[in-house]
Amino acid sequence: MTKENRPRARVARGFRDISADEIRGTRQMLAKIQEVYESYGFEPVEQPFVEYTDALGKFLPDQDRPNAGVFSFQDDDDQWLSLRYDLTAPLARYVAENSQKLPTPYRSYRQGWVFRNEKPGPGRFRQFMQFDADTVGSASPVADAEVCMMAADTLEALGLKRGQYVINVNNRKVIDGVMQSIGLGQNESLARKLTVMRALDKFDRLGELGVSQLLGEGRKDESGDFTPGAGLSKDQIDPLIQLLRFGSAFDALQRGEHLSSSLSFPNPFVHPPATWDMNAYGHAEELERIRVSIAGVNPHNKRYSRSFGFDVLSSIPALFKMNDTLASGVHELAEMQDLFDKAGYGPERILINPSIIRGLEYYTGPVFECELLMETKDEDGRTVRFGSVGGGGRYDDLVARFTGQPVPATGFSIGVSRLYSALKLAGLAQESSTLAPVVVLVMDKERTGDYWRMVQELRKGGIRAEMYAGTAGMKAQMKYADRRGAPLVVIQGGDERLKREVQIKDLRLGAELAGNIASRAEYASQRLAQFSVPEADLVSAVKKALAE
Amino acid sequence: MTKENRPRARVARGFRDISADEIRGTRQMLAKIQEVYESYGFEPVEQPFVEYTDALGKFLPDQDRPNAGVFSFQDDDDQWLSLRYDLTAPLARYVAENSQKLPTPYRSYRQGWVFRNEKPGPGRFRQFMQFDADTVGSASPVADAEVCMMAADTLEALGLKRGQYVINVNNRKVIDGVMQSIGLGQNESLARKLTVMRALDKFDRLGELGVSQLLGEGRKDESGDFTPGAGLSKDQIDPLIQLLRFGSAFDALQRGEHLSSSLSFPNPFVHPPATWDMNAYGHAEELERIRVSIAGVNPHNKRYSRSFGFDVLSSIPALFKMNDTLASGVHELAEMQDLFDKAGYGPERILINPSIIRGLEYYTGPVFECELLMETKDEDGRTVRFGSVGGGGRYDDLVARFTGQPVPATGFSIGVSRLYSALKLAGLAQESSTLAPVVVLVMDKERTGDYWRMVQELRKGGIRAEMYAGTAGMKAQMKYADRRGAPLVVIQGGDERLKREVQIKDLRLGAELAGNIASRAEYASQRLAQFSVPEADLVSAVKKALAE
C-alpha cells in the first residue's frame, strides 16, 4: 500500500476510545447498580442494538422530527434498520412482542450503548451508555415511586451522601393541567405547548426574567440572537413562574446547607430580586406558607420535611383553576409523596419539584430527574452544580403503538458516563484498584522458559505478573516496566542464575528516590530499592515488597 | 394511531433479545475471563462501535470482497461509517493513532458486540459478542505462545477439564511454505491459493477423499452441487493430505481416550481406509515414527507427549522440499512448542496441528483455534464435537496499513455466545444462581406503606424482595408470584393485621404437593405450605424458610 492510499488512523467524529481506568471504574459502578436493582426484584433483559426503524418510532427524546438524530441504513430486503437511540423504545417493542410470556407487572433492567446521529461537541458523544430500569404493566403510582426510591438507594450504594443528590419528581399531568388552566388546552398546537415547556425547563439556567421573556414576546440572548417566545400574556405567565419558584426556592435553600454560596442560583427568598413583589400575585399567605415549609426543610426536622411535598401540592389549587388533568396529576404525586414519607425518603432525597420539566414528548404521568448537587466547573470555568445524571417517567403510550392496547409503563434511565464522571469528581470511582503487574525481565532469550515459570509461580501466588514479551534489550525492558507502571521488576542474569538468586527492583521506591536525589553519592543509595533473594523465596519476597 | 399504520412488534431479522439467564450466566463467565487476562497483565481498552469505513479496511474475516458483510452508513459530512465487524480492526486503528503513548509491547483485552451484514440462519446472528486479547509490538513467538496458554488457562478457570478442550496451533508460514514447495508460489493467483486453503480447512468435515477432490478436479456433494477444485495434480495433493493426517490422527486418538466412539472421525491409523497405502508416499519410516509418537500421546506418558509437536515439525522436511518461508514457520512453531513444554502445557492442552487452516486473509504467522471436544448434536441430529469457540493468530500487517511501519501483533478472540452455549452444555454455566424474589402481596391498597416497609426489612436482611406493584386482586397477585418463580409470598390481610402477624406461603412446597395430590382431603394438607409468624419475626422466618 503506498503512502497516498493509506487510510489515516483516526477515531470517528463524535466517538471515543475508553481507557482502562474508566472501563474498570465503570465495571465496578455497574456491578453495584445491578446489585441494588436485583435486590428490588428487577430482572435483566437485553434487546439488540439494531431495530426496525418503524419500531423505534418517532419518540426520539429531545427531538420533535421523526427519525432525526438516528443512524439508519437499509437492509437487503429493503426494510429500514436503525441503531437504537435509547433503551426504552426497544423495550416497548420487546414487551409488545412477548407480552404473553411475561409476568404482569414486568420489572426489568438493562445496560447498554445507545447512539445519536447528532452534532458532537465537547463532552457530547454520539455513543454513550445508559442503565435503565422499567416496570411495565402497572398503572399505580407505587411503581413510579419504586423506581425513584431505587434510584436514591443506588446513588447511596455508590457512596454518595445525602445532600449530594436529589431525585426531583414532577408530573406531566400537572404541567398539562396547568397549561389547560391558563388557556393552552387540547386545541392548542403541540408546537406552542412545546415552546412553553422548553421555556419552563430553562428556569434553572435563565431564571425568572429569561423564562418570562421566553413565555411572552421572546428573548434576546447575550450574543444578540433572538428566540421567539410563546406569546403568553402576563396573566398566563405569572402563575407559571410562581409554580417554578416552589422547586427552585426549596432547592436553593437546601443547597445552601451543603454547598458554598458561590452558586449563582436564583433564590427569591434569600436574595429578593428588585422586580419581586410579593403581593403581585395576590397570594401572600400562600407564599408565607411556602416560606415556612422551606425554612423547615432541615432533614433533621421531621415535622417540616414531611410536609413539604404536600404543601407544594396543596398550594396548586390556590394558584390555578382546577381541571381534571391537573387534579389527577396532583393526586398521583400525593400518592407517591405518601409512600416516600412512609418509607422514610424525605425531601432531602426525593423532592416533589414543579420546576422539573422533562422535554420528552412521550411521558404521560410522573417524571423524574436525578440531580447531583456537587460543584464542578462549567465550560466557561464557572462553579456550577454537577446536574442531571439520569431521569425518566411514565410512558403509557409506547407499547400501545404496536398493540393498540394501553399498557402502562414507567422507568428510570441513568447516564452511565455522566454518573461515572460525577463519582470520579466525588472521589468515589474505584478506578485504580487494579495494581499494575510485576514484570519479569528476559535477560537471556534462551532461558525464556525459566522466566515464564517465575511468572507462573507469581500468578499462582495471586500476584498479577507478566514476562516481558518483546525482543528488545535491558534498557528498553526497564522503560517498558516504567511505562506500565509496574511496582516491581524481577531480574535474573547469568550471575544470579549461578547463585540461584533473583533480584527484585522496586520501581516505586526508585522513582521516589530519584525525585530527591541531589548528588551522585545519593544516587548510589538508589540501590536500596533493589535486593536479591533466593529463587525459592521469589513469591514471598514479592508479596512482602508489594505489601510495603 | 389506527390499526393500519401501527408498526408490527418484531425483533429485526438476524437479531435477538437476550434472556435473564443468559445475561447472568454470560456476566459471570466474562468476569472469570477478565480475571485470568488481568492476572496475565493485560489491560482493558475499548474502541467505539462505529469506525470510518476506510479504517476498517478490507480485512473482513471469511470474506474476500472489500466491505462486503458490513453495515455502513454515510455521515452528514459525507464520510462513510461502519459498524465494527470484529474487535481487531478497531484495535489496529487505535494503536496506530496512539502508538506514542502506549507501552511496547502493548497487551490489552476487550469484550464487545460486533456486527455482520450477512444472511442470518439458525443459530447464526448478525450481532454477537467477542472477547479479545492482543499483544501489539512484539514479533516474538513468546507473545503468540502466551495468548495460547492464557486461552487454555481461561477454559480451565471456567471449569472445563483437560480432554474437554484443545488449543490447536499452526502457522500461516507453514501453509504458505508448503504451497510454495508444491509449486504454488508468489506468482500464483490469490484466488487459487484461497481455494486450496479452503479445501484444506474442510478436512475435518469431508475427510481425505473430499479434500483430495477439492484440491484436484472438484467435488460433487450429496445434493449434486458441483464445487470446482483447485486443479492440483496427485503429486501436489498427496503430501498435503499426509500433512493433514498428522493433526487429525493425533486428534482422533486423543479424542478416543475421552469421547465415545460414535464420532465419525477419519482416523487412518485406527481404521485404515481401503485406499490407504502406507508406502505410497515413500516415507514408511516417517509414518512409523508418527505412529509411535501418536501411540504415545497418553498425557500421563511425559516422554512421548513432550515430543509430539517436535515430531510433527521434524517430519515436515521429509514430506516437503524446504524453502525459507517453510523453515521460518517451522522454526516459530518449534519455539512455541519449546515454551509450551517448559511451562507444562502438553499436547492434550495445546497441540501443534498442521490441519488447522484459519481462513483469514490477514494472518501472517502462528494461527490458533480453540476447540471444545464435548459432544453435541448437529442440525441433522448427529453426534458431533462442539467445535471451535475462538481462535486467532499473528497479524503483522494490520497496523502498517495506517502507518506504513511494520508493527508485529498477535491476538486471540473468543466467541462469547458460543462459549456460553458450550458451558451450558457442560453444566458449567451458573445461570440460575440468582433466586427469584420473595413477593409481598398488597391485600389493602390503603396500607401500601406497611407492605413497602416489609419489603425494605427483607432487603435489609439481604433477601431479594419486591412488593406487588400492580393494581389487580389477590388471584392475579398469586399468579404473578407464580410466574415470577417466587419461592415465597408474604401476606397480611385485615385479620393478620389485628393479630400483628404475617402469613408466609411457600410456593415451592405448594407446587410440589400439588403434583402429588390425589384427593380433596390431601389438598387440604397443602396448607402445610403456609404458616403464620409474628410481624417482628418476618425476616428471620423468611430466611429460615428460604434455607430449607
The residue in chain A having the minimum alpha-carbon distance to the alpha carbon of residue B39 is A464
pLDDT of residue A429: 83
Asked whether the predicted pLDDT for residue A52 surpasses 70, the reply is yes
Asked whether the predicted pLDDT for residue A111 surpasses 70, the reply is yes
pLDDT of residue A203: 82
Asked whether the predicted pLDDT for residue A314 surpasses 60, the reply is yes
pLDDT of residue B66: 42
Q: Which chain B residues contact residue A338 at CB under 8 A?
A: 448-449
**B469/A contact by beta carbon, under 8 A:** yes
Q: Which chain B residues contact residue A137 at CB under 8 A?
A: 470
For residue B105, say if its preceding peptide bond is cis, omega within 30 degrees of 0. yes
pLDDT of residue A346: 86
B275: closest CA among B318, B353, B212, B227? B212
B373: closest CA among B130, B162, B123? B162
**B435/A contact by beta carbon, under 8 A:** no
pLDDT in tens, A183-241: 888 788 888 888 898 888 888 788 889 999 999 999 998 888 999 999 999 989 988 88
Q: Kindly state the cell numbers that stand for A291.
A: 416560606
Please give the average per-residue pLDDT across A36-41, as a whole number: 95
pLDDT of residue B200: 87
Please give the average per-residue pLDDT across A315-321, as a whole number: 79
**B475/A contact by beta carbon, under 8 A:** no
pLDDT in tens, A139-166: 999 999 999 999 999 999 999 998 899 9
Q: CA-to-CA distance for B208 and B194, rounded, in angstroms? A: 18
CA distance B337 to chain A (A): 11
CA distance B318 to chain A (A): 27
Mutation target to probe the A interface, by most A beta carbons within 10 A, among B19, B28, B142, B332 is B142
Q: Which chain A residues contact residue B453 at CB under 8 A?
A: 342-343
Among A residues 24-53, those touching chain B with beta carbons less than 8 Å apart: 24, 38-41, 43-52
Backbone dihedral angles phi then psi of residue A498, each to the nearest 5 degrees: -60, -35
- Residues A227, A232, A236: CA angle, nearest 5 degrees: 135
Amino acid at B144: D
Indicate the DSSP class of residue B124: B
pLDDT in tens, A444-468: 988 999 999 999 999 999 999 999 9
Backbone dihedral angles phi then psi of residue B228, each to the nearest 5 degrees: -65, 145
CA atoms within 13 A on the CB side of B174: 29
pLDDT of residue A492: 96
Amino acid at B487: P
A341: closest CA among A153, A150, A160, A149? A149
Cβ within 8 Å, pair B403-A9? yes
Mean pLDDT of chain A: 82
Q: Which chain B residues contact residue A20 at CB under 8 A?
A: 43-45
Among B residues 390-429, those touching chain A with beta carbons less than 8 Å apart: 400-404
Q: Which chain A residues contact residue B38 at CB under 8 A?
A: 434, 464
- Residues B277, B281, B286: CA angle, nearest 5 degrees: 95
A367: closest CA among A61, A94, A120, A69? A61
**B157/A contact by beta carbon, under 8 A:** no
Please give the average per-residue pLDDT across A97-109, as a whole number: 94
**A350/B contact by beta carbon, under 8 A:** no
Residue scoring higher pLDDT (A370 or A381): A370
Could you give the angle at which helices A141-157 and A324-343 cross, rounded to 10 degrees? 40
DSSP-based helix, strand, coil % in chain A, nearest 5: 45, 20, 35
For residue A105, say if its preceding peptide bond is cis, omega within 30 degrees of 0. yes
How confident is the prediction along chain B (548 residues), in pLDDT tens digits per residue? 567 778 899 999 999 999 999 999 999 999 999 999 999 999 999 999 999 998 987 544 444 444 568 898 888 888 889 999 999 999 999 999 999 999 999 999 999 999 999 888 887 899 999 999 999 999 999 999 999 999 999 999 999 998 899 999 999 999 889 989 988 887 888 888 888 988 888 887 888 899 999 999 999 988 889 999 999 999 899 888 888 876 655 555 454 433 222 222 233 333 333 332 333 333 344 444 444 443 333 333 333 333 455 567 777 877 788 889 988 998 899 899 889 988 999 888 998 888 788 765 689 999 999 999 888 877 778 887 888 999 999 999 889 989 898 899 999 999 999 999 999 888 888 765 678 999 999 999 889 999 999 999 999 999 999 999 988 999 999 999 999 999 999 999 999 999 999 999 998 876 666 666 555 555 555 555 889 999 999 999 999 999 88
Amino acid at A243: L
Contact B93, B27 (CB under 8 A): no
Residue with cell 396547568: A178
- Assign B519 to helix, strand or coil: coil
pLDDT of residue B275: 31
Contact B87, B118 (CB under 8 A): no
- Residues A161, A167, A173: CA angle, nearest 5 degrees: 170
Under 8 Å CB pairs connecting chains A and B tally to: 277
A34: closest CA among B417, B487, B452, B24? B24
Cβ within 8 Å, pair B105-A9? no
ipTM value:
0.84
**A118/B contact by beta carbon, under 8 A:** no
**A476/B contact by beta carbon, under 8 A:** yes
> What is the separation, in whole angstroms, between the first and last Cα of chain A?
52
pLDDT of residue B511: 65
Q: CA-to-CA distance for B142 and A448, rounded, in angstroms? A: 8
Q: Are strands A409-415 and B465-467 parallel, antiparallel or unpaired?
A: unpaired
Q: What percent of chain B has pLDDT over 90?
A: 51
Amino acid at A242: Q
CA distance B219 to chain A (A): 31
Q: CA-to-CA distance for B62 and A60, rounded, in angstroms? A: 37
CA distance A227 to chain B (A): 26
The residue in chain B having the minimum alpha-carbon distance to the alpha carbon of residue A1 is B401
**A5/B contact by beta carbon, under 8 A:** no
Contact A113, A105 (CB under 8 A): no
Could you give the angle at which helices A416-425 and A20-39 cross, rounded to 10 degrees? 110
Range list of H helices, A259-381: 284-295, 302-319, 324-343
- Assign B533 to helix, strand or coil: strand
CA distance A259 to chain B (A): 31
- List A132's β-bridge partners, or say none: A110, A413
Q: CA-to-CA distance for A505 and A451, rounded, in angstroms? A: 16
Among A residues 160-199, those touching chain B with beta carbons less than 8 Å apart: none
CA distances from B440 to A102, A208, B458 (A): 19, 46, 10
Q: CA-to-CA distance for B3 and A9, rounded, in angstroms? A: 49
Q: Are strands B226-228 and B218-220 parallel, antiparallel or unpaired?
A: antiparallel
A50: nearest CB among B3, B12, B404:
B12
Indicate the DSSP class of residue B223: T
Cβ within 8 Å, pair B107-A79? no
Cβ within 8 Å, pair A41-B464? yes
Among B residues 244-303, those touching chain A with beta carbons less than 8 Å apart: none
Q: Lowest-confidence range among A3-17, A120-134, A296-310, B499-513?
A: A296-310
Cβ within 8 Å, pair B470-A105? yes
A256 band by pLDDT with thresholds 50, 70 and 90:
very low
Contact A415, A124 (CB under 8 A): no
Cβ within 8 Å, pair A54-B452? no
* Residue A46: other Cβ atoms inside 10 A: 22
A11: nearest CB among B17, B97, B146:
B97
